[in-house]
C-alpha cells in the first residue's frame, strides 16, 4: 500500500527544524508561517510554502492541492497573536470565531476538525519522535542537591495543576517559593521572569497535560532553552519522563557544559479532569 503523503505545518522554535533534519524527504510538503517559522527551514526542504499568520487557514488549501493526506503540527503557535490588532483574512476570522475558548486544546482540536473536513489526518508526533522523549532519572553528569530535589517535588505539584487547568506546563521555583508560572508567553519567557525574581540557582519544572494528545500536545525542550538557562545560571531542569521531548544536536552535552542538571521525573497517573 502506498504511504500517504506527509505535510508539516511548522510553527516557531527548534522542533520543526529538528524533525526535517532527522527525517529528510523530498516528498514532505512544508508550510511555514511568515514572521514565526525560522527562515532557515528553507535549507531543509525543497517543498516549502509560506503563509501569513492572518491567512493561516490557507495552509489547508495548500495541503489539499499538494495531495497531502497526513499532517504533523510542530512548533509553537503563539496565541498572543490572536489578541493583536491584525487584519484577519476571512478564513482565519471564521476559524477564531468557531473556537469555544482560546485555550491550546481548543485551537488544536478545532484546527484538526477543519483538516478532517478535507480528509487530512493529524499524525502523532510521538510516532516519529519517541526516541527523544526524556528518560527517567538523572540525565546529566551532575545531579540536583538534596535542596534542589525538594524544589523539584515542590514545583512538580504546581506544574501538574497548572497543566490540568490547561494554562501552562512550566513553573520556576527556588527554595520552595514559586517564582513564575507559564501562561500564554511560553517556556523561555517564563524562565526569564523566574530568574528575574530568583536570581541564579532557580529550578525549572516542565510537565505534560494529563490528557496529552500525541498529535499536537507534546511539550518540547530544546537547546535554545538550555542556553538560556545557562546564561541565567539556572541550576536544574526537571522534565516529566516519557512525556516531554528533549531535542537538539546534543542537549545533554550542552547542559553539562553549562552546569545544568537535567532529570526525568516519573509521575503517577493523574486524574483527567478539565478545569
- For 210-236, the pLDDT digits (tens) are 988 888 879 999 999 999 999 999 999
Identify the domain boundary among 70, 92, 123: 123
216 & 246 share domain: yes
Question: Are 30 and 81 part of one and the same domain?
Answer: yes
The pLDDT of 70-98, averaged and rounded, is 69
Instruction: Indicate whether 271 pLDDT > 80.
Output: no
pLDDT band at 2 (very low <50, low <70, confident <90, very high): low
Q: Is the confidence at residue 89, as pLDDT, over 70?
A: no
C-alpha cell belonging to residue 5 = 503523503
CATH code of the domain in which 74 resides:
3.40.50.20
Band of the pLDDT at 64, cuts 50, 70, 90? Answer: very high
Any domain includes 232: yes
Q: What is the pLDDT of residue 55?
A: 75
Q: What is the pLDDT of residue 155?
A: 98
Q: Are residues 99 and 227 in the same domain?
A: no
C-alpha cell recorded at residue 211: 490528557
Residue 72 pLDDT grade (very low, low, confident, very high; cuts 50, 70, 90): very high
Tell me whether residue 69 is in a domain.
Answer: yes
Mean pLDDT, to the nearest integer, of 202-211? Answer: 95
Q: Residues 105-112: what's their mean pLDDT?
A: 77
- Among 245, 225, 244, 247, CA closest to 236: 225
* Residue-by-residue DSSP string for 130-174: GGGBPPSEE-SSS---HHHHHHHHHHHHHHHHHHHTTS-SEEEEE
pLDDT of amino acid 216: 81
Does pLDDT of 273 surpass 60?
no
Specify whether 114 is located in the same domain as 173.
no
Q: Give the SS3 label for residue 11.
A: coil
Q: Which of 18-22, 91-95, 113-117 has the lowest mean pLDDT?
A: 91-95
Say if 220 falls within a structural domain.
yes
Residue 145 maps to which CATH number? 3.40.140.80
Q: What is the pLDDT of residue 168?
A: 93
Residues 118 and 179 in one domain: no
pLDDT value of position 272? 46
Cell of 100: 469555544
The mean pLDDT of 100-114, rounded to a whole number, is: 74
- Whether residue 114 sits in one domain with residue 64: yes
Range of the domain at 19: 6-123
pLDDT at 170 over 60: yes
In a domain, 271, yes or no: no
pLDDT at 1: 42
User: How many domains, the chain?
Assistant: 2
Q: Does position 121 have pLDDT exceeding 90, yes or no?
A: yes
Per-residue pLDDT at 203 exceeds 90: yes
Q: How far apart are CA 166 and CA 104, in angstroms?
A: 7
Please check whether residues 234 and 181 belong to one and the same domain. Answer: yes
Q: How far is CA 235 from CA 46, 252, 261, 263, in A?
A: 40, 14, 6, 11
pTM value surpassing 0.75: yes
- Choose the weakest-confidence range: 5-9, 118-122, 147-151: 118-122
- pLDDT band of residue 103 (cuts 50, 70, 90) is low
Q: What confidence category does residue 275 fall into, taking pLDDT thresholds of 50, 70 and 90?
A: very low
Q: Are residues 65 and 154 in the same domain?
A: no
Q: Do 42 and 113 lie in a common domain?
A: yes
Shared domain check, 143 and 103: no
Q: Is the pLDDT of residue 246 over 90?
A: yes
- Is pLDDT at 200 greater than 50 in this prediction? yes
- In whole numbers, what is the pLDDT of the chain averaged over residues? 89
Q: Could you tell me which residue, 26 or 236, shows the higher pLDDT?
A: 236
Residue with the bigger pLDDT between 269 and 38: it is 38
Amino acid at each position: 500500500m502506498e504511504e500517504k503523503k506527509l505535510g508539516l505545518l511548522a510553527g516557531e522554535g527548534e522542533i520543526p527544524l529538528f524533525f526535517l533534519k532527522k527525517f529528510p524527504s523530498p516528498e514532505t510538503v512544508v508550510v511555514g508561517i511568515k514572521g514565526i517559522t525560522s527562515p532557515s527551514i528553507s535549507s531543509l526542504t525543497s517543498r516549502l510554502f509560506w503563509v501569513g499568520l492572518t491567512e493561516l487557514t490557507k495552509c489547508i488549501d495548500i495541503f489539499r492541492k499538494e495531495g497531502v493526506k497526513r499532517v504533523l503540527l510542530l512548533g509553537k503557535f503563539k496565541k498572543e497573536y490572536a489578541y493583536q490588532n491584525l487584519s484577519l483574512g476571512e478564513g482565519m476570522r471564521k476559524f477564531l470565531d468557531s473556537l469555544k475558548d482560546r485555550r491550546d486544546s481548543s485551537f488544536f482540536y478545532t484546527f484538526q476538525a477543519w483538516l478532517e473536513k478535507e480528509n487530512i489526518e493529524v499524525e502523532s508526533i510521538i510516532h516519529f519522535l519517541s526516541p527523544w522523549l526524556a528518560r527517567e532519572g538523572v540525565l546529566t553528569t551532575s545531579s540536583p542537591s538534596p535542596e534542589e530535589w525538594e524544589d523539584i517535588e515542590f514545583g512538580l505539584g504546581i506544574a501538574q495543576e497548572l497543566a490540568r487547568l490547561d494554562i501552562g506546563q512550566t513553573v520556576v521555583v527556588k527554595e520552595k517559593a514559586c517564582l513564575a508560572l507559564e501562561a500564554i508567553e511560553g517556556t523561555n519567557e517564563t524562565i526569564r521572569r523566574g530568574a528575574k525574581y530568583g536570581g541564579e540557582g532557580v529550578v525549572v519544572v516542565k510537565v505534560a497535560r494529563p490528557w496529552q494528545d500525541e498529535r499536537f500536545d507534546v511539550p518540547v525542550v530544546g537547546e535554545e532553552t538550555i542556553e538560556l538557562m545557562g546564561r541565567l545560571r539556572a541550576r536544574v531542569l526537571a522534565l516529566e519522563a516519557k512525556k516531554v521531548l528533549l531535542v537538539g544536536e546534543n542537549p545533554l552535552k550542552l547542559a553539562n557544559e553549562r552546569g545544568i542538571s537535567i532529570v526525568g521525573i516519573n509521575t503517577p497517573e493523574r486524574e483527567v479532569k478539565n478545569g
